[in-house]
Amino acid sequence: MRSIVVAVMLLAMAIIAEAQQPKKIPRIGYLSLTSPSFSSPYRGAFQQGLRELGYVEGKNIIVEYRFAEEKLNRVPDPVAELVLLKVNAIVVPGSSLARAAKKVTTTIPIVMASAGTPFRDGLIASLARPGGNVTGLTNMVSDLGAKRLELLKVVFPTLTRVAVLPSPIRPGLERAELKEIQAAAPPLKLQLQILEVRTADDFERAFEDAAKTAVGALAVTRDPTGLFSTHENRIVELAVKNRLPAMYPRIGYIRAGGLMYYAEDELENYRRVATYVDKIIKGAKPADLPVEQPTKFEFIINLKAANQIGLTFPPNVLALADKVIR
């Protein structure tokens, strides 16, 4: 009888001790291709999403931030650090960093905030069933390239020739957005000049070619290789230098001083990423979490950039914008 009482007491003490054990706080990796200052709005949107789900950094969640400082070749090192820290998931901006992270780990969940072509890049099996360790959100909307071209024509009705900066050629990469733009050009009575850029050294020459043929505007496409996103400032500087009104596919170009932007609401995507992190923390597998497509879009006009190139927008054009930067 005494031995039974002792056993019961020991069991009760073990249960109490286990209950008093501090709960393991989930740890998330956040990887940015840019600098801490440049990525601040995106990081802030992600943090807002976490707060809305009840997470407080340092209390019930830990976020490990790593920044590649615009050097894609640096990415494997911070990813390896995050793997050693045994993070529950790694948040990345898009396809280029997802590919780099996937080369380092095929087990830790990778959550994309705004991926371009995750299916064509071999990162997921399908939007509905990703199938591996990568999931998240995509900016993959089939007609955005054509929509940007249409907006250029609306803003500049007399426009006849547009320079297009398509994503660099990469083996196995289908430049779908360029095809959309090429299909949309004839009905809009627009001629296109394709500016081929393969490395950062090609930007200057490409813009010089555009200036020689007197194009009236520039359309920049998405770039899943990561080259454009690491040189957004340079692209904007060259557009201003050549006095080219430009339509951009990422909000980062506007922050760098770009003129116009039309795409999905990127900050909303980063806020939504937190829901994926929450589900993974609670046991969901990335293979079973469908990749979401954007539903919220925005058109932004930057009047400060317009002043730099001596451009004035009429009130009816400004009325089309979701946001006007003055």
- Do residue 135 and residue 158 come from a single domain? no
Work out the pLDDT band at 14, boundaries 50, 70, 90: very low
Could you tell me the residue range of the domain that residue 65 belongs to?
27-140+266-295
Q: Is residue 254 included in any domain, yes or no?
A: yes
Rounded distance between C-alpha atoms, residue 268 and residue 46, angstroms: 9
Q: Are residues 185 and 306 in the same domain?
A: yes
Q: Pick the residue with more confidence: 76 or 307?
A: 307
218 or 294: which leads in pLDDT: 218
Q: Which of 249, 289, 308 is nearest to 124 (CA)?
A: 289
Helices 144-155, 176-184: axis angle to 10 degrees equals 40
Please, which pLDDT band fits residue 72 given cuts at 50, 70 and 90?
A: confident
Q: Taking 90 as the threshold, does the pLDDT of residue 247 lie above it?
A: yes
Regarding whether 150 and 163 lie in a shared domain, the answer is yes
If 0-12 CB within 10 Å is exposed, 13-18 middle and 19+ buried, where does residue 9 land? exposed
Residue 264, both tokens: 């999905």
pLDDT of residue 170: 63
Residues 201 and 314 grouped into a single domain: yes
**Which residues contact residue 77 at a Cβ distance below 8 angstroms, ignoring those fewer than 6 apart?**
none
Residue 10's pLDDT is what? 46
Which tens digits make up the pLDDT trace of 118-174? Answer: 887 789 999 999 999 999 998 876 678 999 999 999 999 999 999 999 988 765 455
Average pLDDT of the chain?
89
Residues 239 and 163 in one domain: yes
**Same-domain pairing of 161 and 310:** yes
**Greater confidence, 39 or 206?**
206
Same domain, 304 and 223: yes
Q: Per the domain annotation, does 9 fall within a domain?
A: no
* Domains: count for the chain: 2
Shared domain check, 215 and 254:
yes
Q: CA-CA distance, 232 to 176, in Å (whole number)?
A: 21
pLDDT (tens digit per residue) in 299-310: 999 999 999 999
Does residue 119 lie in a domain region?
yes
- For the cut 50, the answer to whether the pLDDT of residue 258 exceeds it is yes
Distance in angstroms (rounded) separating the CA atoms of residues 217 and 153: 10
Q: What is the pLDDT of residue 17?
A: 47
Confidence class of residue 2 from pLDDT cuts 50, 70 and 90?
Answer: low
What would the mean pLDDT of 279-301 be, rounded to a whole number? 94
One domain for residues 158 and 207: yes
Does a structural domain hold residue 188?
yes
Q: What is the pLDDT of residues 186-236, one digit of tens each?
A: 999 999 999 999 999 999 999 999 988 889 999 999 887 778 888 999 999
89-115 pLDDT, tens per residue?
A: 999 998 888 988 999 999 999 999 988
CB 210 within 8 A of CB 196: no
Q: 187 versus 8: which is more confidently predicted?
A: 187
CATH (domain of 99): 3.40.50.2300
pLDDT band of 22, cuts 50, 70, 90: low
